[in-house]
Chains A and B, each alone.
Chain A
Amino acid sequence: MSPIIEIKQLTKRFKKRIAVNNINFNIENGEIFGLVGPNGAGKTTTMRMLVTLLKPDQGEIFVGGYSILKQANDVRRQIGFMPDSFGVYGDMTVNEYLDFFGACYKIHPHRRAQLISDLLDLVDLGHRRDDMVDTLSTGLKQRLGLARVLIHDPGILVLDEPASGLDPRARVEIRELLLEVARLGKTILFSSHILADVGELCSRVGIIEDGKMAALGTLQQLSQHVMPHRQIHIELLSRSEDAQAALRSMPGVAEVRVVENSNRASLDVDFIGDDESIHQLLAKLLAEGFPVVHFSEDSKNLEEVFMRTTKGIVS
């Protein structure tokens, strides 16, 4: 399968500062790709070059086979872009706002009414279609923004910090919405500081630091690369000391720590092995009669990968 986005030797300087330094990566069709990195790492600059708002000093990006340098309009047709802090026209109704952007994408007036209706249903804003945009909450404006990027039915969505500034509920709703959009077959490239969102949504992650791609791959690949141990969290009803001793004697277990601030008897295990080995570890614990009530691989993996990568451990 050919990649839908190809980024080749991309470099961008702002005066003497190199914002993006020779970045290369591809994104496959239908993928949800997360771009993470500290502030000023070059995520937004990369995205702005991708959506034709900035010209690279060196390198090239192909979107669906079209060059951002030579075929900018063809690229724009394929991309829906939501910047990190985008404004809305407060003096328009929700319906007028989408109609305005529909006209900007040269969608025929006869098609727009039905299209807007469908989009408002998708983002669950149908009941607010005649309200002024200014009266919407931040979360609803973000949903409206998502409807806007879909107005011309692009194959690719480029979303810069889509969950920034949202309350927890709105954040979850946006995440659900992104998953729904991904199910429609869209390719999504998004950046976020909320690593839990990236970890849950993305099929692949790129970590950018100081303008360079510090790490790239699936979460599992990155974890294995920067952390030799997988972290497993186990909770038991009782017998935590016995379980500790038993775990230490099992193959693949590097270290066992007691988690002090938990209501239950909790253990963190550093484990070396694949999914099959983890399954065997759990099976042995149960076979030996330990009352296991919780067994999971630590979901904070991306956070750990991010911290270790951006400290320069990998690069």
Chain B
Amino acid sequence: MDSPQTPQQQPARMNFLNRITDHPVITKELKGRMRGKQGFIILGAYLSFISFFISLIYILIVSESSTTIGDPSFLQTVGKVIFSTVVLLELLMLAFIGPALTAGAISSEREHRTLDLLKTSLLSPRSLVFGKLSSAVAFLFLLIFTGLPVESLAFFLGGVGAEEMIVSTLMLVVTAVFFCTLGLFFSSISQRTLLSTVFSYATILLSFILFIFLLFIIGTLGTINARNIVTENILTTATWFLLSLNPFFAAVISEVILIDEQSLWLTSSNLFGTTSFPLPSPWIIYVTFNLLLSTILIALSINFVKRTDR
């Protein structure tokens, strides 16, 4: 059968920036998020939480070490502690806020009976998922960047290098993307937002329990096995990779390697065994693994949104 020409005019070409700013889902989500009180409450609570802990740490350190307060190396240590605390708190907050922003992304469209309207438009499932994810990640970026003035206290005191800054920001960005993607994935498979939220947080909790369990197993295997070089290397590598998958351990160990070995990329330390061989810095494993997992979850989410027989 011959296909006649569509009566609809082809849209005029727009550049990439225009396409982003005119992306219906991104515009709608961001406008909706910032229109109500919710956005400002999250932002206010986030900054208050971080500021409170930074002030607390600063007061504690300064009051404990009043004799060395003028020592530049001491001030640098304080700067490092404050910076590390901010990064770890931000990682913790992103793990909590990320899934909350996206757990209702698709399921709420189902609940409000608006998904069919979107699916019968020319908005592709990929574009819908991209728009939902981008708007949530953009909001988390806003949180990360509004946290920078608080971190600036650490720069004022010194001791924080550009590498630490770049690596920590990269880890925060990847963490934001991953946790948003996790919520989005469960949202794409759930009919209800409540269910999707429960699945998202249960997965985070279970993965943490699994992490502890695996560490315990590896630790037990290490003690009961005879001192065999191959087994030891395997266990060392497994432990290394396992610790690198946890954002807190990955951040702390990367910082330790940077301070002790002045190395951003590799370590040759035998932290867990007697042998010594090069291992990538945990932040590299963390970023690579999370980006890979995020990509898989995004692909699955698109596939679930695309499905017609639901």
| Chain A residues with a Cβ under 8 A of chain B | 51-55, 62, 64-67, 71, 73-74, 76-79, 81, 83, 85-89, 91-92, 96, 100-101, 103-110, 148, 152-153, 155
Contacts and interface: CB of A to CB of B under 8 A. Distances in A.
Given A65-B1, A65-B3, A74-B3, A87 B122 contact: no
B309 interface: yes
A101 B7 contact: no
Contact of B120 (A81, A89, A155): A81
A104 B118 contact: yes
A243 B308 CA distance: 62
25 contacts: A52-B308, A53-B116, A53-B119, A62-B1, A64-B3, A65-B1, A71-B3, A81-B116, A83-B116, A86-B116, A87-B112, A88-B114, A89-B28, A89-B32, A92-B31, A100-B28, A101-B24, A101-B117, A103-B23, A104-B118, A107-B11, A108-B11, A148-B117, A152-B8, A153-B8
Contact of A52 (B2, B31, B120): B120
A52 B120 CA distance: 7
* Secondary structure class of chain A's binding surface, majority of residues: loop
Contact of A87 (B32, B113, B308): B113
Nearest to B108: A87
Contacts of B149: none
A76 B2 CA distance: 17
Given A52-B308, A55-B308, A91-B36, A104 B121 contact: yes
Contact of B308 (A54, A66, A89, A109): A54
B120 A76 contact: yes
A155 B11 CA distance: 18
Contact of A104 (B4, B24, B112, B308): B24
Interface of B: 1-4, 6-8, 11-12, 14, 22-24, 27-28, 31-32, 35-36, 112-114, 116-123, 308-309
Contact of B11 (A79, A92, A101, A106): A106
B113 A91 contact: no
Contact of A79 (B2, B14, B120): B120
Contacts of B32: 89, 91-92
A78 B4 CA distance: 11
Nearest to A101: B121
Top 4 closest pairs, chain A to chain B, by CB: A103-B24, A87-B112, A87-B113, A104-B121
A86 B24 contact: no
B122 A106 contact: yes
Contact of B114 (A89, A103, A155): A89
Contacts of A79: 120
